Amino acid sequence: MFDLKNDKNFMAQKSLFDEYYNRVLLPKLKENDKIKHRYFLMFIVLLLMSIIFYPLILWAILTMSNDNAADIGVILSVSGFVIIILRGPVYFYKKKAKNTIMADFANFFGTFSYHNEQYLPDDLMRESDLFGQYNIHKGDDYFCGTYKDVAITISEELLQKEIIYTEVDEKFGNASQLNRRSRKKNTFRGICVLLTMNKNFKGRTVVLKDKGLFNFLKHITGLERVKLEDLYFEKLFEVYSSDQIEARYLLTTAFMERMLKLTELYDGKSIQFSFNKNQLLLAIPTKQDMFEACSFFRSNINKKKIDRVFEQFYTVFSIVDVLKLNQKIGM
């Protein structure tokens, strides 16, 4: 199995990164910890005010009104407002700190930059055949840059399907009084890695998680099932392609090992990916934030977390090297 510690180039790059961390990142992390104290003081003040005034407001509502339904609505509104107020200092500190630290982290890799609350294009996501139906698309941490002439984007993505339905108001008991409700279901939450290169793939290849007996339910128009030669990976994945020869050429043991390593580094349960035109899109479902070195309630000086992000980046770069994606020759 692919092990970063046995990679001489990784160890050399890691040594350079350690020096960069001590020289650039560590002073910024210490500075952010000092700034956090001001936001934390603001949080404590707001918390104390909420503890004092929230019960008084609830008491006033309950004693001055006889409409229980209206009371519940007002109480929920006030509670929601209090939560928003308390989250304010946390949100603004983390946004400020992350923008600073992540930008400096990205600068180590030269051409990379960091952006907040961006996400990959919808048409790209839908054409990949990796995701179910969704009508809400959000993003958070977003890195983009180039490595050996291959454009790379690493992004946190959230895809949701909002379902709107109606309920009969029990107070009136007839269909003329309907309330519109909605609920959101996560279609995908996790990390997406997009590699855009200077050559096109001959066909289209989609690699999905193996679902055992339920594999027969999956069908992708224009693609045929491909059997992997490696029995271990054959048990983990279902492969569909319009070009059987190219699919086997791409999905070597070395490449698949890096896919599993990337899944492990992002704390994901599985990985799915798609080769289409001149792009390779990886999707790793995970509930973990990609880069949470900016904690509000704990010290931000956590080298282990930052080392993990460095390993994530390096593993993405190794995919470029294994597939020789920077070469203009056809496959």
CB-based contact 33:76 (threshold 8 Å)? no
pLDDT of residue 185: 92
**Cα(230)–Cα(263) distance, integer angstroms:** 19
CB-based contact 225:248 (threshold 8 Å)? no
Q: Token pair for residue 160? A: 């949701």
Dmax over CA atoms of the chain, in Å, equals 78
pLDDT of residue 65: 64
| Ranges under pLDDT 50 in the chain | 173-175, 329-331
Q: Which pTM value belongs to this model?
A: 0.77
**Domain map of the chain by residue range?**
4-323
**Cα(243)–Cα(277) distance, integer angstroms:** 13
Alpha helices in 152-252 (DSSP H): 231-236, 244-250
CB-based contact 161:185 (threshold 8 Å)? yes
CB atoms within 10 A of CB 25: 20
CB-based contact 308:265 (threshold 8 Å)? yes
If you write DSSP's letter for every residue of 87-107 in order, what string do you get? HHHHHHHHHHHHHHHHHHHHH
Q: In what side-by-side order are the strands of the sheet with 136-147?
A: 113-116, 136-147, 150-168, 178-196, 279-285, 272-276, 205-209, 237-241, 224-226
pLDDT of residue 67: 60
**Cα(109)–Cα(101) distance, integer angstroms:** 14
Name the burial class of residue 323, with classes exposed (0-12), middle (13-18) and buried (19+) by CB atoms within 10 angstroms of its CB.
buried
Q: Among residues 211, 241, 238, 208, which one has the least CA distance to residue 224? A: 241
**Cα(314)–Cα(105) distance, integer angstroms:** 13
pLDDT of residue 329: 41
pLDDT of residue 193: 92
**Cα(99)–Cα(95) distance, integer angstroms:** 6
pLDDT of residue 7: 81
CB-based contact 313:168 (threshold 8 Å)? no
pLDDT of residue 292: 61
